[in-house]
Structures are given as structure tokens and as C-alpha cells.
Chain A
Amino acid sequence: MLHTEVRELKLPDTPSPGMRVKSGDTMPAIVEVNDLRKTYSGGFEALKGVSLTIQAGEILALLGPNGAGKTTLISTLCGITQPSSGSAIVGGHDIQKDFREARRLIGLVPQEVALEPFEKVINTVRFSRGLFGKPRNDALIERILRQLTLWDKRDAQIKELSGGMKRRVLIAKALCHEPRVLFLDEPTAGVDVELRRDMWQIVEELRQDGVTIILTTHYIEEAEAIADRVAVINGGEILLVEQKAALMKQLGRKVLRIDLTTAVQAVPEALAGYDLELSADGTSLTYTYDTRAERTGITRLLQDLAGAGLSLRDIQTKESSLEEIFVGLVKEGAA
């Protein structure tokens, strides 16, 4: 029941101001997933009817705990696993019937690092481009390798690279055939801060070129920093898809912190009706409220504080992060 409740929160799909659109007001859908199901040969149902529309040029963060079905969804869209039922369309092409046209548009950076160990960096990248039916373009490959700071390593064998460098090679391989839709399956897992920043930079540049990006991540700050929309998946079901900003606004809880001029021993009797927490040193109170509620109770609280004879030194509010929202959702879903 909670699922439906959550779904009701969904806003109409209006573009957020944060999204850049190349032309026109309406964004065409570039990926349309329709009741996609996947049951693995062992009988495990990893996707239980996923429907999802992704707009051209947006960045969608796919969040969900381990085993939620993120990789399965991506693998199915990319052609690595076959859907049990349902359909998906990428750039107007059915991923099964017109797989060639659909896949031409798709770049994939898989979660697991898998590379031919004895081949040179530049050759594996050239290979990917050829495999996607694109003629050789050394200038483009040089630019991508430079961007990923792999140019100096271009003649090194893959096995001589560090883990983070291998991940960069995977990214280079996905970018070298100029995809319009890019799937990044945990691109920043096990990657240093520098590469993570480079990654974000690259994502930003790709977004400016109009590339649609779907990324999964367990770093919610990452989704918060770069995504336009957030989809939460758990147990093979999409729990919600929401504009990031709206999501935070709708589901967000805010914390009001009140610093007192003089410490108190306990929360005064008069304020017992509020769910207040007193800090250990007695100098500050925190009040958590729901921004969705009609009355947040802040005005009355502030009046009552004054009435109880407390004088305030400072007040601050803090919005909850996506992570808190996300953990809350998944818990609700499990309940």
C-alpha cells in the first residue's frame, strides 16, 4: 500500500529549471521502459514490471540498495540480458526488434571492471569504436583519452593499470562511439576524489552536448550533485521517480536548531508538546518538522519558547539530504 502512497506524490513530469533543453519546450522521451520484467533462469524475478520514461538530455540517478535490480535493468536495456516480458524503446527503436539501431545510441560503463588484460589501452578503445560500426577517428580518441588523463598510458597494457585507471578505460570505451544515451553503473565506486570530480566534469560536458545519462550510485551526494531526476528502485520495482528538487521539497524534513543564550537542565514543561531534543550541554534544542505538513508549528514553537522564558541566540534550519529520504523510502517499502 505504501507504494501507491508514494506514487501519489509524483509530480507531473515538468522539466526542472536545472535541465537544459536544446530546443523547444517539450522534451522528447529518449528511453521508454514499459512493464519490463526479468526472471533469471534460476526463477528469481529481478525486475517486477518496471516502467520508466527518461527524457532526452536529462541526468537520471537510479538509486537503490544492493540487489535492487539496477544492474539488471541496465543490462536488459543494453542487450546483455533478455527481458522475460515487457518492452523498451531507445531513441524510437525497440531494443529487441531494432536492436542494432537502439544499441548504436547506447554507451555502457558496467559495474564490474572487465577488460582484456594483454591489450593496449588505445587498441581496446579503438576496438570499441569499431565494434559500434564507427570509422576510426584518432582525434576523437585522443581527446577522450586526454580528458580521462589516460593519454600517457595509451600504449600501456591494461594489466599494468591501476584499478581507477581501468575504470577510466571503461569510460573511454563507452564514450568513444559517441553514444546519445549513456549508462553509468556505479562509475565512481572505488575511485579517488580526483577522478570522481573529473567524472562529474565529464558528465556535465556530455550533458551540454545533449547526452542523456542514467547513473547508478551508492553515493547519494553524487546523485544530489549531478542528477536532474531521481528514481528509486527496490526489490525490482520502481518506488518513485521524481525531480530531484521537488523530491527534496516534498519528502524533505527540515531540522530547526535553536541555540540558547543560557543552558537549561531540561526541556521546560511548557514545551513538552513539541518533540524537542536537548543537546548534551543544554545549550541547544533541535526540532524536526515535515515541510509537507500544513502547519510546521514553527511560529507557535517560537512563541512558546519565548513564553517559557528562554532567550534565543541563533536559529538555523537544515534540509534533509537525499540519502535520508532514500533510506526512509526503502524502509517504508520493506515494511
Chain B
Amino acid sequence: MNFLAIGAIYKFEMARFFRTLLQSFVSPVLSTSLYFVVFGAAIGSRIQEVEGVSYGAFIVPGLIMLSVMTQAISAASFGIYFPKFIGTIFELLSAPVTFFEIVIGYVGAAATKALFIGTVILATAALFVDLEIQYPLAMVAFLLMTCISFSLFGFIIGIWAQSFEQLQLVPLLIVTPLVFLGGSFYSISMLPPVWQTITLFNPVVYLVSGFRWSFFGQADVSIGFSLFAIAAFTAICLFLVWRIFKTGYRIRS
């Protein structure tokens, strides 16, 4: 294991993050506040409670998940796409590093950024609503797994993308709708039965549900399913990364 190389990649990527720290900090704070204003105040005045939790608190786990997923994807996909785009990837390809080490460096940095943003949102949310976390360890574990698996997913997108448009395509067309329809802002028990069934095909439902369970002790689907879903998603991403490595797909001609 070339730990120095992993460290070098990680540091280099984190430096990019720190260069735009203010932006990285302000935008989640602002968007969280806006969500609270729009969803919390406007909708929350009609829906007082969901499953015994105040609506404002109820949406917090979903909000965190939404940002963590999109940030993990965008950080990791951009992180590896940019060197491809400007040509500095030559250095990674000619360095004595394995593809696995490259993945750890990039995914580790993207996951760290996502984790930072998730934490900022949690802190911001705590200013608006009373929050009690019933299973803090499970909460941290879910958060970490989401950060890592979605960073892996973002890394795959970054390898696959051949233009900035493509880079935005998957997050915009697939991830955002799945997250919005994944019960981030409502409990799926509030949906008509047909939609409840359809929703169960949305993997994000399991993540949000599991994450929410760690806060309030209640879930839309059983926690075992949630764990299985995130493990399966991580496994699929790892498999794809391994395939990319084997075939040199879109990186090594």
C-alpha cells in the first residue's frame, strides 16, 4: 500500500475544498435555512406532526441525506473528472499507485467533504428545531456509509463522464428526483397505497428511512432492509470500480 500516495491525493483534493471553504460552508447553511422556511414554516403550519415528531424535526434527516448525497456525488465526480479534463491524469496513471489507492484518495476526500456538509446542516438545523438523536452511533454509521457509497458512485460518474454536461446528467436526472421522492420530506405512509409500493423500488427510501430511524426510533421500512440496501449499493459501486480498474475504462487508452 502506497500510503504516502493516498495521503498526497487526499491532501490535494482537500486543498481544493479549503480554497472554497466559505462557499462550501455558506451554501449548505443557506439552503438548509431556506428549506426550513419553505417546508418547515409553510408546510409545517399544516402538518403539525408526522408519526409523533414535529414536522420541522422530521425533515432534518432527509435534508441532511439530500445534501450529503448530492455533495458526495458532485465532489467525487468532479474530483476525478477534472484531472481527465485538464490532462493532469497523466500523473496518476504514471505514478506507482494502484487504482485502488487512487480510489481511496479521491473517495476519501469526497466523503470527508460530504461529511463536513452533513455536519454543518445538522448544526444549522439544531438552531431551528429541537433535535434529539436516539441512536447517535447508528446515525454516524449511516451518515458515514452514505458519504462513502455516494462518493464511490460519484467517482464512477466522473470516470464515465466525457463532458461537463454528462457530469451533471446523472445527479440531475436520477439522483435528485430519487431523493425528493424518497421520503425526505414526508413519510411514505402518507402516500396512496399504489405509490407506497412503487416507492419501495427507490433505493433512497431505505437510506432516508434508516437514517431517520437513528434520530427518532421510527422508520418507514425495517432497519434491516435499510442496512441491506446501503450495503448492496456500496457493493455495486465497488464492483463497478473494480470493473473500471480491470478494463481501464475511459482512463487508460
Contacts and interface: CB of A to CB of B under 8 A. Distances in A.
Interface of A: 40-41, 75, 78-82, 99-104, 106, 108, 110, 112, 114-119, 123, 126-135, 173
Given A114-B90, A116-B12, A132-B95, 5 more contacts: A81-B252, A119-B15, A128-B91, A130-B8, A133-B5
B5 A99 contact: no
B16 interface: yes
Interface of B: 2, 4-5, 7-9, 11-12, 15-16, 19, 82-83, 86-88, 90-98, 248, 252-253
18 contacts: A40-B253, A79-B93, A79-B252, A80-B90, A80-B93, A80-B94, A106-B94, A110-B90, A114-B86, A114-B87, A116-B12, A116-B86, A127-B8, A127-B11, A130-B7, A131-B97, A133-B2, A133-B5
B67 to A, nearest CB: 24
Nearest to B251: A80
B137 to A, nearest CB: 34
Contacts of B96: 99-104, 132-133
B8 A112 contact: no
Contacts of A79: 93-94, 252
B95 A127 contact: no
Nearest to A72: B253
Nearest to B1: A133
Contacts of A102: 96
B98 A118 contact: no
A102 B82 CA distance: 27
A45 to B, nearest CB: 14
Contacts of A40: 253
Given A119-B15, A130-B11, A133-B4, A81 B253 contact: yes
Contacts of A100: 2, 96-98
Contacts of B88: 114-116
Contact of A41 (B94, B97, B253): B253
Contacts of B94: 78-80, 103, 106, 108
